[in-house]
Amino acid sequence: MNAVNEPAVVAATADEVWHLRLYVAGQSPKSLHALVNLKSLCEKHLAGRYEIEIIDLVENPSLARTDDILAIPTLVRRLPVPLRKIIGDLSDTKRVLVGLQIHPDCLS
Amino acid sequence: MEELPKTPTGISGLDEVTGGGLPQGRPTLVCGPAGCGKTLLAMEFLVRGITQFNEPGVFMAFEESADDLIANVASLGFDLAQSKDDGMLVIDHVKVPGGEMQETGDWDLDGLFLRLGTAVDTIGAKRVVIDTIENLFGAFSNRAVLRSELRRLFGWLKERGVTAVITGERGDGTLTRFGIEEYVSDCVIVLDHRVTEQTSTRRLRILKYRGSLHGTNEYPFLIGESGMSVLPITSPGLRNSASTQRLSTGVARLDAMLGDGGFYKGSTVLVNGTAGTGKSTLAAQFCDATCRRGERALYFAFGESEAEIVRNMSSVGIDLWQWVNAGLLQFRCFRPSVLGLEAHLFAMQKFVDEFDPAAVVMDPVSDLLRIGTGADVSAMLTRQVDFLKAKGVTALFTSLTSDAEPALADQQIASLVDTWILLKTMEGNGEHNRVLYVLKSRGMAHSNQIREFLLTDQGIELADVYVGPQGVLTGSARQAQEAQERSDGTARLEDLEQRRVNLERRRESVEAHTAALWREFEDEADIVGRLLSHGSTGVEDRAGQRAEQGRLRRADTDEYIAHIGELDVGAL
């Protein structure tokens, strides 16, 4: 049963394009780390079906207010819905996967 | 010593307590339990900054949305939407995520810093409020990072040189739930909301003010229609102008007792006395006199209804109904317990604003003690007195005392009042008589006399009391004494007449006596005169007798006898 059902879920998510938005503040080490970590993670788990948008709040400070950003770096999963927010430099891969709800089955 | 630069809050009373305001360019922590008025204080600090000092402000709200905030303070007359449009105010509502966010590594609060920095830069803010930043503790699991970030935030605020107010909810045994007082150490203000005997009172205390003197007491504060007001013990400012115009008390002799013509316009009068001494009557007489001059009077009654007062006063010949009908007199009667002290204060001030009276009566202020402690009531009355004085309204407060000792509240408001009239009853001779005296009256050569206070068909009259060897006499004892004095006078007259008659008799007797003496004297003189005229014959007789005796006795020789006869005659 599992073997039948779970690929179906993965398949459903697999079709979608993941839209991720990373909020950084200038070229700070945390921001750079986060970007590097995010890219490698997406390549590994979401290869070919992800988009990363980087927003530098130093350049667009008003977006901090409109998007309600407090911590830097913040990663927002805009798609698939619902919207999810995680913070930190994304060095803890396991937490990133849980936070973004990338299904553990796609890890294989 | 250089004075620490301060930013005035514009909040009534708070600047007096802090000696000029909050530390300029530094953060101040305002903490207290839920509903104590933290947010309001913070908001008023911004609003006053905008309206009074032309200093733009940023309000960073972690709890309420901008719309809620605008609506909440609109009732206090603050038009935040207008300030926003004018570019003087930014309200940034930070939506704190409900649950903890997944933390995937190192992070900081640069987002918050950037938001705040942008807001401050946009309008050139001088004042910043952060309300309540501790809400962040629910959203971040790594408290160590959060704490170091908050420390950095407060440091950053200082660097920017903005005067900031940070609010925090009181924790269990700590000033704030998460101990942020550790980071904000320049000035800490603690608000409290205490219920004593079912009455809630708000209080404010400056716990700490680095580098500045400050009041250390707990000061009651009120939240009213025009915002917050802290009540320092002495009224703020004391810049009331002083009128020399006198207003009649309605009792001619009392006017005379107060020097010349009655109370000063805009002064505060306390009429204090035990039950049934005629306090309300004196107040009514004053209202009557005020209306008679064509001025308006407002009567706040806490114990009687309008109809009762009018009826009771008509029994002593004071017709208040005519003034009510003429629109010169208004009654506002309510039990004190229907509202809290602050609500009463603002309700009364509203009535005063609407009616614009020349005189206000509060009868009796001691009833307010049922809804607040002595200190609270006196604080409230201080506000009321300041308010009325600023408007030049003459105020008459009555106060009920249970015994001869003035009640606590009276002592506390004694320094507020300009004229203090004491009504007492004097017992004795099976009677209870009212007396009145002026305990103090600022700026008046007032009488030191105790007068008997009579309620007659024509209102109040003051009679002289009898002061004599038996002490102060009033009532029938006074009348008896007067009668006694009258009869004493008559008796004295009779006595004098008697003495005059006696004296007359005595003179007659003296004259009679003198005449008798004269007669005696004249008799004597007569005898002596006669004796003198027959003087020589007497001597010769005696010598002859002696010689005759010698001869008869044959004791001497005839020559000797003859010699003796010669001697005797020679001696004569």
Taking chain B (572 residues) in runs of 10, the rounded mean pLDDT of each run is 80 83 91 86 91 91 88 84 89 82 87 90 92 84 88 90 90 80 83 73 85 78 77 54 82 84 87 85 91 92 89 89 91 82 78 90 85 76 83 88 60 78 81 83 81 83 74 75 82 90 93 94 92 70 71 68 64 50
Chain A residues in contact with B112 (beta carbon < 8 A): 64, 70-71
Three-state secondary structure call for residue B452: strand
Helix axes A93-100, A29-45, angle to 10 degrees: 70
Q: Count interface pairs A-B at CB distance under 8 A.
A: 99
pTM of the prediction? 0.62
In B5-141, alpha helices (H): 14-17, 38-53, 66-74, 80-85, 110-123
Nearest Cα neighbor of B94 from B145, B58, B121, B40 is B58
Judge whether residue A77 has pLDDT over 60: yes
Least CB–CB distance from B114: residue in A34, A64, A90: A64
The confidence band for A12, taking pLDDT boundaries of 50, 70 and 90, is: very low
The per-residue pLDDT for B550 is 67
Q: Which structure tokens are listed for B23? A: 């530390």
Least CB–CB distance from A70: residue in B94, B102, B106: B94
Return the half-sphere exposure (C-beta side, CA atoms, 13 A cut-off) of residue B107. Answer: 30
Measured in residues, chain B has a length of 572
Three-state secondary structure call for residue B459: strand
Nearest Cα neighbor of A23 from A88, A83, A79, A80 is A88
Nearest Cα neighbor of A32 from B105, B152, B109, B140 is B105
A97 vs B: CB within 8 A: no
In whole angstroms, give the CA distance from residue B214 to residue B335.
38
The per-residue pLDDT for B329 is 92
Give long-range contacts, CB 8 A cutoff, 24+ apart: B178-183. B178/B134, B178/B137, B178/B143, B180/B29, B180/B133, B180/B134, B180/B150, B181/B29, B181/B31, B183/B147, B183/B150, B183/B151, B183/B154
In whole angstroms, give the CA distance from residue B229 to residue B223.
6
Q: Which structure tokens are listed for A3? A: 């073997």
**Who's near B194: CB < 8 A, 6+ residues apart?**
B200, B201, B203
A42 vs B: CB within 8 A: no
In whole angstroms, give the CA distance from residue A106 to residue A86.
20
A108 vs B: CB within 8 A: no
The rounded mean pLDDT for chain A is 79
Of B482 and A105, more confident: B482
In whole angstroms, give the CA distance from residue B572 to residue B561.
17
The per-residue pLDDT for B196 is 65
Least CB–CB distance from A72: residue in B103, B110, B118: B110
Of B225 and A8, more confident: B225
